[in-house]
Amino acid sequence: MSFVVTLISSPANPAVDDALIEKLAALVPGETRHEWLNPGIAADIFTTQALSVSEATDTLRSALGETPVDLFVQPATNRRKRLLIADMDSTMIGQECIDELAAELGLKDTIAAITERAMRGEIEFEPALQERVALLKGLDSSVVDKVIAERITLTPGGRTLVQTMKANLGYAALVSGGFTVFTSKIAEKIGFDENRANTLLEEAGKLTGTVQMPILGKQAKLDRLNELLSEKKIEPDDVIAVGDGANDLAMLERAGIGAAFYAKPAVAAQADMRIDHSDLTALLYIQGYKAEEFVTD
């Protein structure tokens, strides 16, 4: 079986050059060859010799040192996936929506501290969500549009990732522990085929401080992935998943490739791939897409 090592840097900080490729290729067993996916930004190193993915990853990461390059080692077959399942907060967007809602009440630091602990897996997600939502009681529900317009930014590469996979017969699902008032709009902006999240309850135009039960958390994300496997008649190896928090771990572990995106340490340590330097187009490069194949409309 042949294997491929993909090297990826940020488009804003190209760091993959011939010298780096030569240095790392020398550490890959067997006869190697390389192929540019995007000169200066991403490249593949192929070998026909079988290798241990975990050992090769450790060796190559050690050799990278402080070089701002992400890498992923995998078999060279079945690289292109048919399903993308993604988290939203701090993954497809740069913020945590509940923290930005809290900012409207002057409670961002208080709620963000709880969010951070939940994403690190230090406290259970479901009760942490209920605790945070309770603090939003009385907030005018119309503030969501203001928050989206003024505080929410799409993560670079996200729309290109979704549109490119869809153009190649892929399906894209957004599954969030956040709220439908955000996912419905963000999914439309990026081009997801579906979105799932929690529902904030409101009364007379004000948030009640409660969320509709059951809460969509770690298990619900995994459940939706399993449902999609059945609906699409595909295998876990046909799936690429991406997220940053502890409530994403189950779906990351179930997917053929689970990518931790600028993730909390415990999540990055357990995921198949960790993205610490590049943007979301990294998930296209590891599938073997070249830059000229990207859909960027």
Q: What is the pLDDT of residues 245-264, one digit of tens each?
A: 999 999 999 999 999 999 98
Number of domains forming the structure of the chain: 2
> Is 282 inside a domain boundary?
no
**Statement to judge: residues 213 and 121 lie in one domain:** yes
> What pLDDT was estimated at residue 40?
98
Global confidence as pTM: 0.95
> Is 274 inside a domain boundary?
no
> What pLDDT was estimated at residue 143?
93
Name residues whose C-beta falls within 8 Å of residue 248's C-beta, 6 or more positions apart in sequence: 87, 91, 218, 221, 241, 267
Instruction: Name the phi and psi angles at 44, rounded to 5.
Output: -105, 140
**Statement to judge: residues 58 and 89 lie in one domain:** no
CA 52 to chain centre: 25
Give yes or no for residue 216 having a pLDDT over 90: no
Given 87, 99, 244, 272, which residue is catalytic?
87
DSSP 103-122: HTTT-HHHHHHHHHHHHTTS
CATH code of residue 144: 3.40.50.1000
Q: Is 70 a catalytic residue?
A: no
Integer-rounded Cα radius of gyration of the chain: 20
**Statement to judge: residues 48 and 115 lie in one domain:** no
**Statement to judge: residues 34 and 150 lie in one domain:** no
Q: How high is the mean pLDDT of the chain?
A: 95
**Statement to judge: residues 96 and 59 lie in one domain:** no
Q: What is the pLDDT of residues 85-121, one digit of tens each?
A: 999 999 999 999 999 999 999 999 999 899 888 888 8
Q: What is the pLDDT of residues 222-246, one digit of tens each?
A: 999 999 999 999 999 999 999 999 9
In whole angstroms, what is the distance from residue 37 CA to residue 106 CA? 46
Which residue range forms the structural domain that includes residue 208?
A: 84-225
**Statement to judge: residues 144 and 90 lie in one domain:** yes
**Statement to judge: residues 10 and 99 lie in one domain:** no
**Statement to judge: residues 139 and 111 lie in one domain:** yes
Detail the DSSP E strand segments found in 48-152. 69-75, 83-86
Q: Which residue has the higher pLDDT, 216 or 202?
A: 202
**Statement to judge: residues 14 and 95 lie in one domain:** no
**Statement to judge: residues 88 and 210 lie in one domain:** yes
Given 44, 70, 89, 99, which residue is catalytic?
89
Instruction: State how far the alpha carbon of 209 is from the alpha carbons of 102, 103, 129, 133, 178, in Å.
Output: 12, 15, 11, 5, 14
Name the band, by pLDDT with cuts 50, 70 and 90, for residue 123. Answer: confident
Instruction: Name the phi and psi angles at 156, rounded to 5.
Output: -55, 135
Q: Which of 164, 199, 225 is the last residue of a domain?
A: 225
> Is 263 inside a domain boundary?
no
> Is 262 inside a domain boundary?
no
**Statement to judge: residues 91 and 173 lie in one domain:** yes
Q: Which of 225, 255, 280 is the last residue of a domain?
A: 225
> Is 62 inside a domain boundary?
yes
Query: By the 8 A CB rule, do 31 and 47 touch?
Result: yes
Name the band, by pLDDT with cuts 50, 70 and 90, for residue 125. Answer: confident
**Statement to judge: residues 128 and 211 lie in one domain:** yes
> What pLDDT was estimated at residue 211?
95
Which helix (H) or strand (E) element contains residue 209?
strand 206-211
Residue 10: helix, strand or coil by DSSP? coil
Q: Is 109 a catalytic residue?
A: no
Q: Which of 181, 208, 225 is the last residue of a domain?
A: 225
Tokens, residue 22: 């030569």
Q: Calculate mean pLDDT across residues 155-170.
A: 98
CATH code of residue 66: 3.30.70.270
Q: What is the pLDDT of residues 43-84, one digit of tens each?
A: 999 999 999 999 999 999 999 999 999 999 999 999 999 999
β-pairing verdict for 32-38 and 83-86: unpaired
> Is 175 inside a domain boundary?
yes
Pick the closest to residue 240 from 289, 202, 197 (CA basis): 289
Q: Which of 5-19, 114-128, 198-212, 261-275 has the lowest mean pLDDT?
A: 114-128
The 3-state DSSP composition of the chain as helix, strand, coil percent (nearest 5) reads: 40, 25, 35
In whole angstroms, what is the distance from residue 182 CA to residue 189 CA? 11
Burial 235-273 (b: 16+ CB within 10 A, else e): ebebbbbbbbbbbbbbbbebbbbbbbbbbbebbbeebbb
> Is 22 inside a domain boundary?
yes
> What pLDDT was estimated at residue 160?
98
Instruction: State how far the alpha carbon of 65 is from the alpha carbons of 27, 53, 62, 138, in Å.
Output: 14, 18, 5, 50
> Is 100 inside a domain boundary?
yes
